[in-house]
Chains A and B, each alone.
Chain A
Amino acid sequence: MSRKPYVREVPKATWYMRNGRYLRYMAREVTCIFLALYMAGLTIGLVRLMQGPDKWETYLAGVSSTPAVIFHLIAFGFACYHAKSWFDVTPKAMRIPQGNDFVPGRIIVGTHYGIWGGVSLVALVLMGVL
């Protein structure tokens, strides 16, 4: 009997449209673009700071404008989503032995949130917001 296996091609450009799981994955990955844009903005700020008070004032006016505030809010939302989607999967990568078992996943995830909250708090205090 002859063999003639049939290969079903995966659509190269639209593979992630095939199911919700893949879309969720893409959402996790794509949201980091907003983090990168935010970091680029921050870097420009640092350069302006080095260039002197005038440039810095112009930069501050720029980031206080309505479109910039809207962008920052959106970027913050996406950053939260990005962080949550990664925190959720940390227990898979970290198996920490405890007795005859492993440290429960929720403790690992919780610790990540704890550190995140702690660092944010310190940053806010340093910035004089709190």
Chain B
Amino acid sequence: MSERQITFEVLRYNPETDDKPWVQTYAVPCQEEWVVLDAINYIKDHLDTSLSYRWSCHMAVCGSCGMMVNGEPTLSCKAFLRDYKGNTIRVEPLTHFPIERDLVVVLDDFMEKLTSVKPYIIPKKEKPVEEGEYKQTPRQLKNYKQYTMCINCMLCYAACPQYGLNDEFIGPAALALTHRYNLDSRDGGRSQRQEVVAQHEGVWECSFVGACSEVCPKDVDPAGAIQQMKIASTVDWYLEHLMPWRGK
């Protein structure tokens, strides 16, 4: 197996001793089949035990290893070194989020936004278990399936310039998840979620740059979800003003 020497420039920040982040370089002997996360693990195991970062599954499922790799929001466990030319790779914590320590970012804001959109099924009518399961056709499943693939990796927030400029924006993943539940035939909670979706910091803060969908490792297409919700919210508005008798 061939070995390749790569210099990793890693952004470091220790809240106890540093006033601002700084760059530390590590020379890592990399194996051909490695991903960026393997190199970072090598640094942790062999070069510098003080480096902090998050990871768990090493297979693009848990969503915890998101980092900026050469300036691009990336799952470091999915970033194969063979796809990077050159001998230097820069690794930084996800942009647009405060840095907790080294490559670890503060998740609080994202967590709050996720809960604000009620990302769970709110049944139209509660029915007792004896009445059996809620059935769905393949068509009904297809309508929302794509938006269930989200792994909450937050790459889309790091890619979104609007979130970077205004962190009040609910943001791509939370809105895509809202769409997921709104589209579910078993769900009746859309009007509850609309309070968050239809406000200015909801879908209307999005100017359709589309960067979120380009970086999403799961092809969730949050940008598409948001545009579809803009259309639905606009239809709501017209119905409400032109046909007030229709009621809610």
> How far does the alpha carbon of A92 sit from the alpha carbon of B15 in the complex, in Å?
42
Q: Are A89 and B208 interface neighbours, CB within 8 A?
A: yes
Given the complex, which residues of A lie within 8 Å of B119, measured CB to CB? Answer: none
Q: Are A10 and B96 interface neighbours, CB within 8 A?
A: yes
Residue in A5, A19, A100, A101 whose beta carbon sits within 8 Å of that of B106 in the complex: A5
| A95-B228 CB under 8 A given contacts A5-B100, A21-B209, A100-B142 | yes
Q: Are B98 and A6 interface neighbours, CB within 8 A?
A: yes
CB distance from A95 to the nearest CB of B (A): 6
Q: Are B165 and A12 interface neighbours, CB within 8 A?
A: yes
CB distance from A33 to the nearest CB of B (A): 16
Q: Which of B60-94 contact A (CB under 8 A)?
A: 71
Given the complex, which residues of B lie within 8 Å of A97, measured CB to CB? Answer: 139, 142-143
CB distance from B165 to the nearest CB of A (A): 6
Number of interface residues of A (CB under 8 A): 28
| A8-B224 CB under 8 A given contacts A15-B165, A21-B211, A97-B139 | no
> How far does the alpha carbon of A7 sit from the alpha carbon of B167 in the complex, in Å?
12
Given the complex, which residues of A lie within 8 Å of B211, measured CB to CB? Answer: 21-22, 25
B164 within 8 A of A: yes
Given the complex, which residues of B lie within 8 Å of A89, measured CB to CB? Answer: 208, 210, 223, 227
Instruction: Name B residues whose Cβ lies closer than 8 Å to a Cβ of A.
Output: 13, 15-16, 18, 20-21, 71, 95-96, 98-100, 106, 138-139, 142-143, 159, 161, 164-165, 207-211, 213-214, 221, 223-224, 227-228, 230-231
Closest 4 CB pairs of A and B: A92-B224, A5-B98, A93-B227, A4-B15
